[in-house]
Amino acid sequence: IFEQSQLLNTLPKQFFANLVTKVNKIVEQGHDVINLGQGNPDQPTPSHIVEAMQKAVENPKFHKYSPFRGQQFLKEAIATFYEREYGVKIDANTEVAILFGGKAGLVEVPQCMLNPGDVVLVPDPGYPDYWSGVELARAKMEMMPLLSENQFLPDYKSLSKDAVEKAKLMFINYPNNPTGATATKEFFEETVDFAQENDICVVHDFAYGAIGFDGKRPMSFLQTEGAKEIGIEIYTFSKTYNMAGWRIGFAIGNPSVIESLNLLQDHLYVSVFSAIQAAAAHALLSPQTCVDELVSLYESRRNVLIDAFRDIGWDVKAPSGSFFAWLPVPSQFKSSEDFSDYLLEKAHVVVAPGNGFGEFGEGYVRVGLLTSEERLQEAAKRIKTLKLF
């Protein structure tokens, strides 16, 4: 047996692996488990995108190594998409990096920009892969609490002065995983000012960019004046087009950050399989009806879930974006993990304990809208029988 590197040992434990083990045990006992804990889209990739991939895979020119740094046609499609959808102009040659999904980019950015000991501002609660990137870069995290009283937006004024002075990079993510919060124009403007004043590079994780409710379309961070001078946005096809298994996304924005990302990737990969890039370009350039339908589906599930939980007496708030609801743990439970274990055991309903997303996630559980309305209602029915509220 060979030992793992010290670096690998410093990586955060995969918190949800623990949950999966517990869930599997209950499944093996033959119970019908309703899993609201995961973030895996349940709908298939739209057929026009699958067909574009099938056509492309038959083209022998795509069987070779893809060009380093991605296909020009995809980079141009990304520029067209951003201008059409957000009115943001992107230079396809200098302001786009093709990624193996958003996760890869989020983990790569700290490694291509930071030196050991550098400070990164990270949202808490937040998507755990931010932590992995920071650890791999041997950098240090300073948490930005996302509190309900601030609509789950960081309060820059409350951060330690010392940490802000030392910070070189920060992550923000709206629509937000896990809280379901969305950002305001004013918040993005404040972020640009804060980053400019303190010389911090902003990485906006726009994984749920397409998913906003109540007729409110989430803003791209790059729509904010000055954003491209201080940061990048990371987009993925996983959620918008149900392409989580395809592993493709992109980063756009500040050319120096994009160049660093591309340079790191030159050493790691060649590029995403060209037929996948062709399908991704097709997704961006086609009418976006499939996206509108998907958002309506999630909105309708959100309404069903929130109504059903309120009906059983659970005081829950509706998310304004993403496909997650962030629900308070009833006061009789000591922790989010205790509550999650209890629901799993007694109701065979899986929810993700909030402390898996950071210290400030304690007191909440995350529930996904990734199953049918009937199953969401059935989950509420089962929880009702526990008489918790």
- Cβ nearer to ligand PLP, comparing 198 with 238: 238
Beta-bridge partners for 350: 35
- Cβ nearer to ligand PLP, comparing 173 with 265: 173
CB of 102 to ligand PLP, least distance (A): 3
- Cβ nearer to ligand PLP, comparing 202 with 347: 202
Check residue 20 for interaction with ligand PLP (CB under 6 A).
Answer: no
Element (H, E) at 84: helix 72-86
CA distance 262 to 265: 5
CA distance 55 to 287: 19
State whether the Cα torsion 318-319-325-328 is positive or negative. negative
Tokens standing for residue 350: 């899986």
CB of 312 to ligand PLP, least distance (A): 28
CA distance 371 to 380: 13
Check residue 326 for interaction with ligand PLP (CB under 6 A).
Answer: no
Closest to 237 measured CA to CA, from 74, 95, 92: 74
Of residues 200-229, which lie at the interface with ligand PLP (CB under 6 A)? 205, 207
**Residues counted in the chain:** 389
- Cβ nearer to ligand PLP, comparing 103 with 282: 103
Of residues 267-296, which lie at the interface with ligand PLP (CB under 6 A)? none
Tokens standing for residue 257: 């950050």
Of residues 115-134, which lie at the interface with ligand PLP (CB under 6 A)? 127
The amino acid that residue 32 corresponds to is D
Of residues 166-185, which lie at the interface with ligand PLP (CB under 6 A)? 173, 177
- Window of 109-117, 236-244, 296-304, 342-350 that interacts with ligand PLP by CB under 6 A: 236-244
Strand 201-205 and strand 167-173: the pairing is: parallel
- Cβ nearer to ligand PLP, comparing 113 with 347: 113
- Window of 42-50, 75-83, 102-110, 222-230 that interacts with ligand PLP by CB under 6 A: 102-110
